[in-house]
């Protein structure tokens, strides 16, 4: 297949490009910045900002599938809306104009409605999506992006592909501390609970993305996490080994931290200062990152014929 990969120079994108080339696909890599020539594998690169305008020259390029990885991980609401939502609108418009019907859209498990769920609930594809006003910036933008993917599949005749919701993506060097606690400025607060941490190895994610691109999936949603997910102790140990867990953190039971978060959000909200509350201490952010749950991957394994890689470390 001839595949267009957006966000190709990013953390996930580099692994996806490598996996696509290993499968002998022809790759067109699109990103806002082009890597150094010494780092770029043999392929065609399009340097383009999707947020600024539709990608150039999709018509007549013979593209069979688009793997849309590009999105903002942080920034202001305006910056994330531009890089995630507006960029996706431009891309899907260009796909429609060029008659490209196969899309693999990368969403996130952040879009789900965690606050009402009982602790230790099983999170899977049946878990309801969140209510946008109650969510943090990243979750709101990924939800808006997922709805754009869904509209593409529902409104474009012959459209095929899938919406993939990965958990926290990592490799041997990169692992984010989002599910360990709240670390902002002088605040260093770990939580403790008996749930799982929803991680996925980036190599396993790349294989799942390419597996999905080769199948007729009808735009269905699939959740992607590792087998044998780590508990918080294993996760904190991995963070420490990578040198990314802030020193001097105090660990407290998650219910106690939840109570503190609710109280601070309520007080600052009444004072019009809710914007000063770390996102992890707001209702949706706290539940999504720090409330104990279990996570399933059986549907993705069944539909993709996919087996996650080695155990978390």
Distance CA 136, CA 278 (A): 10
- Report whether 111 contacts 169 (CB < 8 A): no
Query: What region does 168 belong to: left with phi over 0, alpha with psi -120 to 50, or beta?
Result: beta
Residue 264 lies in a domain: no
pLDDT 10s digits, 232-275: 999 999 999 998 888 788 889 999 988 877 776 666 566 565 55
- Report whether 132 contacts 85 (CB < 8 A): no
Residue 39 has pLDDT above 60, yes or no: no
**Better pLDDT: 251 or 210:** 210
**Better pLDDT: 41 or 298:** 298
Place of tokens 């941490």: 197
Take residue 81 and report the two structure tokens written for it.
């809306």
Lowest mean pLDDT among 84-88, 169-173, 181-185, 206-210: 181-185
Residue 38 has pLDDT above 50, yes or no: no
CATH number of the CATH domain containing 26: 3.40.50.720
Asked whether the whole model's pTM tops 0.85, one would answer yes
Residue 231 lies in a domain: no
What value does the mean pLDDT take over residues 222-233? 96
Domain count, the chain: 1
Domain that holds residue 137: 2-169+198-226+295-304
What value does the mean pLDDT take over residues 3-16? 95
Residue 227 has pLDDT above 90, yes or no: yes
Strand partners, 253: 192
Residue 36 lies in a domain: yes
Take residue 24 and report the two structure tokens written for it.
């002998």
Residue 48 lies in a domain: yes
Q: What is the pLDDT of residue 131?
A: 84
Residues 6+ positions from 25 with CB-CB distance below 8 Å: 1, 2, 3, 210
Q: What is the pLDDT of residue 46?
A: 85
State whether residue 185 is helix, strand or coil. coil
What value does the mean pLDDT take over residues 152-163? 96
Q: What is the pLDDT of residue 54?
A: 76
What value does the mean pLDDT take over residues 38-53? 76
Q: What is the pLDDT of residue 134?
A: 73
């Amino acid at each position: 297949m001839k595949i267009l990969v957006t966000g190709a120079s990013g953390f996930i994108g580099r692994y996806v490009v490598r996996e696509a080339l290993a499968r002998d696909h022809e790759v067109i890599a699109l990103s806002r910045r082009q890597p150094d020539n010494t780092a770029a594998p043999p392929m065609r690169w399009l340097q383009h900002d999707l947020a600024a305008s539709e990608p150039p020259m999709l018509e007549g390029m013979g593209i069979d599938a688009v793997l849309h990885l590009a999105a903002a991980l942080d920034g202001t609401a305006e910056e994330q809306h531009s890089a995630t939502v507006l960029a996706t609108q431009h891309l899907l418009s260009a796909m429609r104009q060029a008659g490209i019907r196969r899309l693999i859209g990368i969403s996130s498990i952040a879009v789900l409605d965690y606050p009402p769920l009982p602790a230790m609930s099983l999170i899977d594809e049946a878990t309801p999506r969140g209510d946008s006003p109650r969510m943090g910036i990243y979750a709101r933008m990924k939800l808006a992006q997922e709805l754009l993917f869904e509209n593409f599949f529902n409104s474009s005749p012959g459209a095929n592909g899938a919406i993939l919701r990965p958990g926290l993506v990592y490799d041997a060097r990169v692992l984010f501390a989002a599910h360990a606690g709240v670390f902002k400025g002088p605040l260093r607060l770990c939580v403790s609970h008996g749930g799982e941490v929803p991680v996925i190895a980036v190599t396993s994610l790349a294989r799942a993305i390419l597996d999905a691109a080769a199948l007729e999936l009808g735009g269905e949603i699939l959740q992607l996490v590792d087998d044998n997910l780590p508990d918080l102790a294993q996760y904190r140990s991995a963070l420490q080994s990578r040198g990314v867990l802030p020193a001097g953190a105090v660990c407290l039971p998650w219910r106690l931290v939840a109570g503190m978060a609710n109280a601070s959000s309520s007080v600052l909200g009444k004072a019009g200062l809710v914007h000063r509350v770390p996102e992890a201490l707001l209702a949706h952010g706290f539940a999504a990152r720090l409330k104990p749950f279990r996570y399933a991957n059986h549907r993705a394994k069944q539909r993709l014929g996919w087996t996650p890689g080695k155990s978390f470390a």
